[in-house]
Amino acid sequence: MSSWTLKSIPPHDWFLCLDIDQYFDHEHDPEKTFEEGFTRPIPIGDRDTIITSFFNGDPENPEFHFESPESLTKEEIEEANKSLRRIFGTDLDLRPMYDTLDDDPVIGPKLTELYGLKRMSRANLFEDTINRIIEMRLSHKPTAKKMVYKIRENYGSLVTTNGNSLPAWPRPHQLVKANPIAIRKLGPTKRKGEFIIGFAEDILSGEQNLEQLENCDPQTFYNTIKEVRGVGPTSAQQLMLFRNHTNACFPSNKTSGEEKGLRKWIVMSYGGDPDTITEDNFQDMISKWEGYEAAALEFMFVNWILSEKEKKQRK
């Protein structure tokens, strides 16, 4: 058995994430996670290992404790940490944003209400992209999550440790062996099967480079990932938010003169008209967001999720 800790840049209150179902997969129960920890397979080189994560509950001195049933080497722990840092956003430094956006009419109040929020993502961009393609246009998220889980069961490696088994996320070399018709039988459409297989093929052929996509500037990321079959402009903006960076961009995406996607939501939140606003005026509107666009948008997203939950509870 191995155990180790990883500090996060404060403020960070991971427990806020337990209210956001979209951050978790089919096998996770956020209500139990508070006490039992967050367990998932983590890629280490060519294999996967089950790791359970626990948060110390201190937003000002945030620290995660990790446990693996396996005896991992120092090098393997460091490899696992690469994924864990991305999943929990421990390297994201939002402290300057709290000062800059403190008096912002839209973001300012949310910084207080959701103090310590950092987004969760998956272990790498490949996982995030496959998840996004499969769940796209599916309004019943539990069903969507189950479809993703079935893909993992059928094409990922089964990780078994001390009697506990979980399917890992498939690697590109495992997904290229899939058949769209077989994927259709698991729930996703045949076209979605073609899309995720195609993305795996692009990775293996070198047409897409995950490391470059993870670390390039936001506009380059957007221009590149939106051309992937099955992604498109809206999903490209969503995937940008999961990278291990605080910045992002929100390019205009109009259909028949009507603005779509995240830009529309942002402009309307500030009381503007998303269909007529100029590029200069939009950039001026979010000028205080500079360098923290992804983080600021996540505060809006989480606030909206929590507001919707409150509305349902009042009905």
The pLDDT, as a whole number, for residue 315 is 72
Domain region containing 195: 94-314
Q: What is the pTM of this model?
A: 0.95
Dist CA 84 CA 89 (whole Å): 8
Cα dihedral 143, 147, 148, 150 sign: positive
The answer as to whether 278 is a domain residue is yes
Percentage of residues of the chain with pLDDT beyond 90: 91
8 A C-beta contact, residue 16 and residue 33 = no
User: Over 70: is that where the pLDDT of 114 sits?
Assistant: yes
User: Over 90: is that where the pLDDT of 173 sits?
Assistant: yes
Number of domains in the chain: 1
Residue 233 zone, left/alpha/beta (φ > 0; ψ -120 to 50; rest): alpha
The answer as to whether 86 is a domain residue is no
8 A C-beta contact, residue 55 and residue 64 = yes
Dist CA 222 CA 233 (whole Å): 8
The answer as to whether 68 is a domain residue is no
The answer as to whether 226 is a domain residue is yes
> In what helix (H) or strand (E) does residue 94 lie, and over which residues does it extend?
none
Dist CA 287 CA 8 (whole Å): 27
User: Over 90: is that where the pLDDT of 311 sits?
Assistant: no
The answer as to whether 41 is a domain residue is no
The pLDDT, as a whole number, for residue 104 is 97
Dist CA 296 CA 145 (whole Å): 26
- Predicted confidence (pLDDT) per residue in 16-29, tens digit: 999 999 999 999 99
- Give 162's pLDDT tier (boundaries 50, 70, 90): low
The answer as to whether 105 is a domain residue is yes
Which residue's structure tokens are 């990790």? 66
Dist CA 188 CA 258 (whole Å): 29
> Domain containing 178 — which CATH number?
1.10.340.30
The answer as to whether 287 is a domain residue is yes
The answer as to whether 273 is a domain residue is yes
User: Over 80: is that where the pLDDT of 163 sits?
Assistant: no
